[in-house]
Amino acid sequence: MKYTIFGESHGPAIGVVLEGVPAGVALDLEAIQAQLDRRAPGKDPTATARKESDLVNIISGFFEGRTTGAPLTMVIRNSDQHSSDYEAIRYTPRPSHGDYAGFIASKGALDYRGGGHFSGRLTAPLVAAGAVARQLLAEKNIWVGAHISAVYGILDDSALQDPEPLKALGDKPFPVLNEEKGEEMRQAILEAKADQDSVGGAIECAVVGLPAGLGAPDFGRNVEGVFSQYLFAVPAVKAVEFGLGAGLAYARGTEANDPFEVREGRVVTRTNYAGGVNGGITNGMPVVFTVTMRPTPSIGLPQESVDLRTGEEVEMEITGRHDPCVVPRAVPVIEAAAALAACEVLKL
């Protein structure tokens, strides 16, 4: 199963084509829409006030309630566009956005309106594709769950050793395990917003139910490499860590090794510091990873840029409405990317 996302923030529509979908699968369309609704803005006071009515429409590969095996295309029409907002940034790239890199890559032919193809809005079709993947995984009793694990240095409890509570977090607009920490995070976001600033954070995600023995140590097939490719394709993701991740640079082998034991007749590891992967292959424990998402680069404060026509340094201000922290709305996005990665690992 391979996905291709198309569209631009201010074009007529965005969408995704899924190739290699197994045939004959009865899709729950409401469940797909429900995933999209999770990422819609306006669910939590920490999010942008921008409205997006993301109604997904399947236009191919689906017939009488089931997948046909032909490419499955899902389309979301765009609306609520204020293209004029963006004229000012056409030749004045916003710092740490894709504007400048994209301008060079496209030889100046970039659709600059609202981030164009670089827009976070393009994660909507990713969520739709992931929703299909989730249904394929559910048939195998595999589920994906995630939570906000950090915002501006405020850390939620870790789900590494026990991801079960993540299963119930899907409906929350601000999913955390520790509500007190969640409240602190919200405050940090609202404070940043009040300062016309933004904050970064992290999401911890678990894929539970993958059998042992999937993947290979080799390039292109190792489980961590496969997952990371899906995860880094999500805008704003700058780090991917499995198990203890970067914390392993602070550990000794005796602290990081996962002893084997037998539980209910199955070989398991007592701890899961490796995040469910050894030697590039699943070991039967939950695959648990953390992604870090950068602070929203769109901030209201004045910033330094360059006019690409004149080559002169200029000061710029970004107008418009933006999420002061992308992390809460990115939770279903990361889950979607993980679900697609899990399908690849399972060769679905």
State which of positions 23-82 bind its own copies (CB under 8 A): 23-24, 59-61, 63-64, 66-73
- Of 282, 331, 332, 336, the residue at the interface with its own copies (CB under 8 A) is 282
- Of 35, 86, 102, 130, the residue at the interface with its own copies (CB under 8 A) is 102
- Of 40, 177, 244, 338, the residue at the interface with its own copies (CB under 8 A) is 244
Quote the radius of gyration of the chain (alpha carbons, Å).
Answer: 21
Q: Does 138 bind its own copies (CB under 8 A)?
A: no
CB closer to its own copies, 171 vs 253: 253
Q: Does 308 bind its own copies (CB under 8 A)?
A: yes
- Of 114, 145, 163, 235, the residue at the interface with its own copies (CB under 8 A) is 235
State which of positions 200-219 bind its own copies (CB under 8 A): 200-202, 212-219
Q: What Å distances lie between residue 110 and 4, 10, 115, 119, 123, CA to CA?
A: 19, 12, 9, 12, 19
- Which stretch, 37-45, 134-142, 176-184, 278-286, contacts its own copies (CB under 8 A)? 278-286
Whole-number Å distance between alpha carbons of 206 and 338: 8
CB of 43 to its own copies, least distance (A): 22
- Of 34, 44, 85, 100, the residue at the interface with its own copies (CB under 8 A) is 100
- Of 29, 34, 190, 233, the residue at the interface with its own copies (CB under 8 A) is 233
Q: Does 19 bind its own copies (CB under 8 A)?
A: yes
State which of positions 156-185 bind its own copies (CB under 8 A): none
Angle between helices 29-39 and 123-138 (to 10 degrees): 140
Closest residue by Cα to residue 78 from 125, 23, 29: 125
Q: What Å distances lie between residue 213 and 134, 223, 260, 274, 292, CA to CA?
A: 20, 10, 16, 15, 28
CB closer to its own copies, 168 vs 301: 301
Closest residue by Cα to residue 243 from 163, 344, 143: 163
**Contact predicate 324/198, CB 8 Å:** yes
Q: Does 120 bind its own copies (CB under 8 A)?
A: no
Whole-number Å distance between alpha carbons of 195 and 197: 5
Q: Does 114 bind its own copies (CB under 8 A)?
A: no
Whole-number Å distance between alpha carbons of 348 and 326: 30
CB closer to its own copies, 166 vs 202: 202
- Of 41, 95, 173, 209, the residue at the interface with its own copies (CB under 8 A) is 95
CB of 76 to its own copies, least distance (A): 12
CB of 278 to its own copies, least distance (A): 4
- Of 114, 145, 286, 297, the residue at the interface with its own copies (CB under 8 A) is 297
- Which stretch, 37-45, 156-164, 169-177, 260-268, contacts its own copies (CB under 8 A)? 260-268
Which H or E element spans position 304? Answer: strand 303-307
State whether the Cα torsion 279-282-286-290 is positive or negative: positive
Reading phi first (left if > 0) and then psi (alpha if -120 to 50, else beta), residue 145 is in beta
Closest residue by Cα to residue 8 from 110, 84, 103: 110
Binding residues with its own copies: total (CB under 8 A):
142
CB of 157 to its own copies, least distance (A): 15
Q: Does 4 bind its own copies (CB under 8 A)?
A: yes
Reading the block at residue 35, the tokens are 């995933």
Amino acid at 2: K
